[in-house]
């Protein structure tokens, strides 16, 4: 299934002449349970643009074209191997209006204020969904980002915000997807990911304790060759992120498959790895991700869940 130009242009007309139809489509979509039948998830991530992330590799505008993004999302969501999508309100409403979210999970991204490259980048404030609208729009959960740099005082406010949002989502029995990442500054003062496993283990422990209830908390973290230690730092269910596509994508798919042996590692939240793979085949990337998460699941591409 591809997105034709006619429905795409009709979507833009709806934004002008019938804007409520976007909200109505999202609220009235057919829903499913979070865990499904096996408690394993393949979720496509499309919340990058809300934080100004539109580059890929050496191309500064690789993800800027909205038609291309929506087309790839529609194609992936049409596959039964995909359980849902993580995105900001604009993308979720567009996908719902296009009929792509029936029977799929819809997770709303929340604190996107840490704009890529900004001097305040680690001050990840609430600029997308709030908890009330996660609930009123009929979403299945909300995702928060907490990037922990021990030398950046703005992180304390983000910790407090994510803890509050985790509590609010739990009170409503909605998934609280928390993405904790260790960060530091390079010699130029730019925020960079700390890729050490020890640092990741520490932020996993911190994120596990956020909020007045952890009952509905899930973690979204990078996969690692030391996943037994990282996953061992929490009982929370873990979804692995994909990051930017590498020149050798076999590595990330193999790492996902290996990490799924840990009992609380339950799937992937993959964005650029599946939407913008190096071979320009999103469906093929979905099948590879699904094979890592559900090795015994047939990998046909037709149908829907």
Q: How far apart are CA 148 and CA 115, in angstroms?
A: 16
> What pLDDT, on the 0 to 100 scale, is given for residue 178?
98
pLDDT in tens, 15-33: 999 999 999 999 999 999 9
Structural domain includes residue 305: no
Cite the beta strand spans of the chain per DSSP E: 41-46, 84-87, 105-109, 141-148, 175-185, 191-193, 217-222, 238-241, 265-270
| Sign of the CA dihedral with 116 first, then 119, 122, and 126 last | negative
Residue 127 contacts by C-beta under 8 Å, 6 or more apart in sequence? 50, 111, 112, 113
pLDDT in tens, 149-195: 999 999 999 999 999 999 999 999 999 999 999 999 998 889 999 99
- Residue 303, in any domain of the structure: no
- Residue 304 in domain: no
Alpha carbons within 13 angstroms on the beta-carbon side of residue 120 total: 11
**pTM, whole model, 2 decimals?**
0.94
Rounded to whole angstroms, the Cα distance separating 266 from 260 reads 7
- Would you say residue 297 has pLDDT above 90? no
What is the number of residues in the chain?
305
CATH number, domain at 251? Answer: 3.20.20.70
- 165 within a domain of the structure (yes/no): yes
**178: in domain:** yes
Distances (CA, A) of 191 to 119, 121, 122, 185: 9, 7, 7, 5
Nearest residue to 210 via CA among 145, 294, 149: 145
Structural domain contains residue 277 = yes
**Cα 129 to Cα 89: distance, rounded to the nearest angstrom:** 7
First-to-last alpha carbon distance for the chain, in angstroms, is: 14
Q: How many domains does the chain have?
A: 1
Q: What is the largest CA-CA distance in the chain?
A: 54
Here the tokens at position 105 are: 């999970």
pLDDT in tens, 37-62: 999 999 999 999 999 999 988 889 98
pLDDT tier at 303, thresholds 50, 70, 90: very low
Q: Angle at CA 221, nearest 5°, toward 158 and 244? A: 100
Residue appearing with tokens 């709303």: 108
Residue 300 located in a structural domain: no
34-72: burial string, b at 16+ Cβ within 10 Å, e else: beeeeebbbbbbbbbbbbebbbbeeeeeebeeeeebbbb
Q: Write out the residue range of the structural domain in which residue 198 sits.
A: 5-293
Q: Is residue 85 part of a domain?
A: yes
Query: pLDDT tens digit string along 136-145?
Result: 999 999 999 9
């Amino acid at each position: 299934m591809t997105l034709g130009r006619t429905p795409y242009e009709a979507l833009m007309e709806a934004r002008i002449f019938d804007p409520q139809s976007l909200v109505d489509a999202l609220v009235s979509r057919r829903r499913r349970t979070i865990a499904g039948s096996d408690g394993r998830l393949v979720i496509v991530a499309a919340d990058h643009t809300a934080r100004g992330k539109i580059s890929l590799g050496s191309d500064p505008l690789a993800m800027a074209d909205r038609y291309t993004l929506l087309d790839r999302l529609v194609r992936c969501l049409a596959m039964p191997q995909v359980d849902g999508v993580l995105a900001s309100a604009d993308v979720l409403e567009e996908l719902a209006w296009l009929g792509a979210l029936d029977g799929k999970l819809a997770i709303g991204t929340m604190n996107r204020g840490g704009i890529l490259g900004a001097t305040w980048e680690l001050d990840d404030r609430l600029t997308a969904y709030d908890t009330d609208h996660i609930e009123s729009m009929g979403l299945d959960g909300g995702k928060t980002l907490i990037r922990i740099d021990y030398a950046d005082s703005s992180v304390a406010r983000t910790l407090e915000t994510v803890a509050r949002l985790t509590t609010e989502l739990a009170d409503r029995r909605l998934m609280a997807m928390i993405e904790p990442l260790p960060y530091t500054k390079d010699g130029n003062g730019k925020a960079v990911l700390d890729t050490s496993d020890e640092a990741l283990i520490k932020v996993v422990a911190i994120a596990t304790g956020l909020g007045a209830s952890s009952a509905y908390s899930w973690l979204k973290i990078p996969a690692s060759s030391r996943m037994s230690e990282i996953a061992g730092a929490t009982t929370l269910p873990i979804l692995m992120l994909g990051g930017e596509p590498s020149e050798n994508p076999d590595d990330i798919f193999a790492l996902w498959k290996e990490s799924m042996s840990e009992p609380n590692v339950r799937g992937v939240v993959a964005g650029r790895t599946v939407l913008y793979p190096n071979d320009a085949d999103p469906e093929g990337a979905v099948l590879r991700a699904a094979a890592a998460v559900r090795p015994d699941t047939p990998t046909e591409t037709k149908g829907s869940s």
